[in-house]
Amino acid sequence: MNNGNLFDLSGKIALVTGASRGIGESIAKLLAQHGAHVIVSSRKIAGCQAVVDDITKAGGSAQAIACHIGEMDQIDAIFASIAEQHGKLDILVNNAAANPYFGHILDTDLSAFQKTVDVNIRGYFFMSTLGAKLMRESDGGSIVNVASINGVIPGDFQGIYSITKAAVISMTKAFAKECAPFNIRVNALLPGATDTKFASTLVNNPKILEQAMAHVPMKRVAQPDEMAGTVLYLVSDASSYTTGTAINVDGGYLIG
Ligand SMILES: NC(=O)c1ccc[n+]([C@@H]2O[C@H](COP(=O)([O-])OP(=O)(O)OC[C@H]3O[C@@H](n4cnc5c(N)ncnc54)[C@H](OP(=O)(O)O)[C@@H]3O)[C@@H](O)[C@H]2O)c1
């Protein structure tokens, strides 16, 4: 089953979305350090290529493929390309997400609603169906969905985003149940506030940050690298009997 190292990913093909920066970049680099060939993906190829260059300089194996997960034709295309080039997929990390609207839920307009749903629900869903079909053709695999603590407790003025993240937690369980017979495990990571571009309004505003940290027992935001270890665990043999779960990595926030 493994060579004594539960975290060895040698020979595995891994696709990480939203991997040009932030949490996805940290995940891509850690999976590559553990031996996976990592497909680094996001909308803009240049940022992905920079991450690939870092990985290859460090002795790892990676390639960049652009994919906007809100566009169905681009989702189809990335899996066609992986099937053609590699003939299999072992690991899928659905990490790229959209959060275009910050404001009162009653003022959510249709375009913000549509964009958030198209990327965070439809995108994660069809990335998972196509990814799992490819995994089913070989020995199975592991999918990790990056959701959010906001999927459990809605973030203030982040209504539609929080609703989509709750859907991702539900999606994780539904896929886990129906894909277990194909030896495909599906789990979720629920990050708390993490120091990335995504959370820059929070992290760069001392007053908002202080208010937010009042609810975090560890009294600090996470660094992106602090999310990657949980993903490594979830995609490796170390978690071989774990499916349908959601792991909070939130400095204790969800203790309440
Ligand atoms: N940071 C936090 O506090 C926090 C907390 C809870 C959950 N999360 C979750 O963690 C995940 C990663 O967030 P992050 O903080 O690392 O964000 P980030 O630093 O802003 O990075 C977002 C990544 O996603 C890509 N991306 C954005 N929209 C995309 C799309 N439609 N299709 C494909 N790629 C897309 C971006 O690259 P391009 O611009 O090139 O596309 C970038 O690589 C998200 O699912 C987010 O909801 C974050």
Helices 72-86, 124-137: inter-axial angle, 10-degree rounding? 20
pLDDT digits (tens, 9 = 90+) for 49-106: 999 999 999 999 999 999 999 999 999 999 999 999 999 999 999 999 999 999 999 9
Q: Looking at residue 115, what is its pLDDT?
A: 98
pLDDT digits (tens, 9 = 90+) for 166-211: 999 999 999 999 999 999 999 999 999 999 999 998 899 999 999 9
Ligand 1 midpoint to CA 130 (Å): 21
Share of the chain above pLDDT 70, in %: 99
pLDDT band at 16 (very low <50, low <70, confident <90, very high): very high
What backbone phi and psi angles, to 5 degrees, belong to 190? -115, 90
State yes or no: pLDDT of 1 exceeds 60: no
SS (H, E, C) the chain: CCCCCCCCCCCCEEEEECCCCHHHHHHHHHHHHCCCEEEEECCCHHHHHHHHHHHHHCCCEEEECCCCCCCHHHHHHHHHHHHHHHCCCCEEEECCCCCCCCECHHHCCHHHHHHHHHHHHHHHHHHHHHHHHHHHHCCCEEEEEECCHHHCCCCCCEHHHHHHHHHHHHHHHHHHHHHHHHCEEEEEEEECCECCHHHHHHHCCHHHHHHHHCCCCCCCCECCHHHHHHHHHHHCHHHCCCCCCEEEECCCHHHC
State yes or no: pLDDT of 3 exceeds 80: no
Pocket test for ligand 1, best of 198, 201, 230 (most atoms within 8 A of CB): 198
Q: Is 23 in the pocket of ligand 1 (CB under 6 A)?
A: yes
Domain residue limits, the chain: 13-247
| Atom from ligand 1 closest to the CA of residue 222 | 3
Q: State the pTM of this model.
A: 0.98
Ligand 1 midpoint to CA 136 (Å): 27
* CATH number assigned to the domain covering 13-247: 3.40.50.720
Average pLDDT over residues 101-129: 98
Q: Is 119 in the pocket of ligand 1 (CB under 6 A)?
A: yes
pLDDT band at 242 (very low <50, low <70, confident <90, very high): very high
| Amino acid letter for position 126 | F
Q: Is 88 in the pocket of ligand 1 (CB under 6 A)?
A: no
| Atom from ligand 1 closest to the CA of residue 193 | 3
- How far, in Å, CA of 165 to CA of 18, rounded? 16
The whole-chain average pLDDT of the chain stands at: 97
Q: Looking at residue 2, what is its pLDDT?
A: 60
Pocket test for ligand 1, best of 15, 21, 152, 250 (most atoms within 8 A of CB): 21
Ligand 1 midpoint to CA 18 (Å): 5
Catalytic residues: 161
pLDDT digits (tens, 9 = 90+) for 84-98: 999 999 999 999 999
Q: Looking at residue 4, what is its pLDDT?
A: 81
Instruction: Please give the structure tokens belonging to residue 123.
Output: 């995108």
Q: Looking at residue 168, what is its pLDDT?
A: 99
Catalogue the long-range contacts made by 2-10 (C-beta closer than 8 Å, 24 or more residues apart).
Answer: 2/237, 6/236, 6/237, 6/238, 7/34, 7/232, 7/233, 7/236, 7/237, 7/238, 8/34, 8/35, 8/236, 8/237, 9/34, 9/35, 9/36, 9/90, 9/91, 9/232, 9/235, 9/236, 10/35, 10/36
Ligand 1 midpoint to CA 244 (Å): 22
Q: Looking at residue 215, what is its pLDDT?
A: 96
Instruction: Please give the structure tokens belonging to residue 75.
Output: 């989702």
Radius of gyration of the chain measured on its C-alpha atoms? 17
**Conformational region of residue 157, where left means phi above 0, alpha means psi within -120 to 50, and beta covers everything else:** left
